[in-house]
DNA sequence: ATGAAAATGCGAATTATTCTCAATTATATT
DNA sequence: AATATAATTGAGAATAATTCGCATTTTCAT
């Protein structure tokens, strides 16, 4: 029951390079949803020679073998998180951009049922909700209530 | 109770140019989820002088005033649809790329409840499911069952 | 009809991501 | 441990979607 991610990489026929290990460990250790650039900057602190292209290639590989997932968040670039986390949804605040994770076993079950009814074989789901976080709701009502 | 989209454009202080009317009418008449390039090609058939930049600018404006919504579909470019359609979800086949629309009043209600519980004010939601459509499931099982 | 402000067309610029290719590295084999 | 081979990397060029800059045109209130 050790580092199964490393096993997955090798079992899929990919080499366990130290760049891949580094990138993966950053993703696993991060609580936030990193984008490629942020990940690259963090990686460079431990390996100043690492290339942005390698970050993108690793992300692509990890995604292909199911170690990570990419999130859109309605921006012009992706964000990444490990798949180990239980399935969840994302809420992004349209004002401050903060990302909140939401969970609901019930909703997930209903989505699966919906797919079965339509004879669709689900491989992944992504629910993104946009709106105002509690803090920004407060700000807005304060400035409006003159 | 007439063309409320035109009214919306003017009421928000935007000018009702014939380019905007054209782009909007194409979006309203389309059954598919057009991307900017496809929309541009269709628009050029009726106005050969129209610019791709104008298409992007119009899409951006329409999105801002709530006339249309942009969908990610996990690609490197957006797809667009009018908001008039009842809220719905999207399923894209990872094999053939086909997009299917799904509806579930129940799921929408549960999502709204989930947001209320967390004190989040929802402005929009996007549920994207990826998987295999019935046709591609069939193809896969046929080729596998030697 | 006139004028001011907004919008357009066109090409250049920008940004995220991918590609090319020579040099390096991981792994299997000796 | 040394070698061979194929995969991977770094660096920068290339690409693709989208945005910008600006001169010209159009909308719309007067
Ligand atoms: Mn971001
Ligand atoms: Mn597309
Ligand atoms: Zn997440
Ligand atoms: Zn749709």
Topology annotation, domain A1-84? Arc Repressor Mutant, subunit A (1.10.10)
Angle between helices A52-64 and A36-46 (to 10 degrees): 110
| CB contact at 8 A, A81 and A67 | no
Element (H, E) at B89: strand B89-93
Q: Hey, which residues does A125 pair with through a beta bridge?
A: B129
Pinpoint the alpha helices (H) of B80-127: 105-117
Average confidence (pLDDT) over B71-87? 91
Domain boundaries of chain A, sorted by first residue: 1-84, 86-146
- Residues of chain B in contact with residue A128, where contact means CB-CB under 8 angstroms, are 125-128
In this structure, of A57-61, A91-95, B13-17, the range with the lowest mean pLDDT score is: A91-95
**How many other C-beta atoms are found inside a 10 Å radius of the C-beta of residue B107?**
22
A144 has a pLDDT exceeding 80: no
Q: What separation in Å is there between the alpha carbon of B43 and the centre of ligand 4?
A: 20
Written as six digits, the tokens of B126 are 């996007």
Written as six digits, the tokens of A75 are 């921006």
What confidence category does residue A28 fall into, taking pLDDT thresholds of 50, 70 and 90?
very high
Q: Which residue places its CA closest to the C1' of nucleotide D16?
A: B76
Q: Is B128 on the interface with A (CB under 8 A)?
A: yes
Q: According to the model, what pLDDT value does residue A145 have? A: 59
Q: According to the model, what pLDDT value does residue B145 have? A: 59
Higher local confidence (pLDDT), B80 or B3: B80
A38 touches strand C (CB under 7 A): no
Average confidence (pLDDT) over B32-43? 97
Pinpoint the alpha helices (H) of A4-133: 4-11, 18-29, 36-46, 52-64, 105-117
A121 and B115 within 8 Å at the Cβ level: the answer is no
B136 has a pLDDT exceeding 60: yes
Task: Mutate one of B66, B71, B72, B80 to test the A interface: name it (highest A CB count within 10 A).
Answer: B72
What confidence category does residue B84 fall into, taking pLDDT thresholds of 50, 70 and 90?
confident
B2 has a pLDDT exceeding 60: no
On whether the pTM is more than 0.85, the answer is yes
What confidence category does residue B59 fall into, taking pLDDT thresholds of 50, 70 and 90?
very high
What is the CATH number that goes with domain A86-146?
3.30.1490.190
pLDDT digits (tens, 9 = 90+) for A65-90: 999 999 999 899 999 999 977 899 99
Average confidence (pLDDT) over A96-101? 92
B146 has a pLDDT exceeding 70: no
Q: According to the model, what pLDDT value does residue B3 have? A: 60
């Amino acid at each position: 029951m050790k580092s199964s991610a490393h096993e997955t990489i090798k079992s899929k026929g990919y080499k366990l390079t130290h760049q891949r290990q580094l990138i993966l460990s950053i993703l696993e250790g991060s609580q936030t949803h990193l984008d490629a650039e942020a990940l690259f900057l963090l990686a460079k602190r431990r390996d100043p020679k690492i290339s942005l292209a390698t970050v993108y290639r690793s992300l692509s590989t990890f995604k292909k073998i199911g170690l990570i997932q990419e999130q859109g968040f309605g921006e012009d670039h992706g964000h990444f998180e490990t798949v180990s986390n239980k399935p969840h949804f994302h809420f992004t605040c349209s004002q401050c951009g903060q990302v909140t994770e939401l969970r609901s076993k019930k909703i997930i079950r209903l989505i699966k049922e919906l797919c079965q009814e339509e004879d669709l074989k689900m491989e992944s789901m992504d629910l993104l909700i946009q709106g105002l976080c509690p803090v920004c709701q407060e700000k807005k009502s304060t400035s409006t209530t003159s």
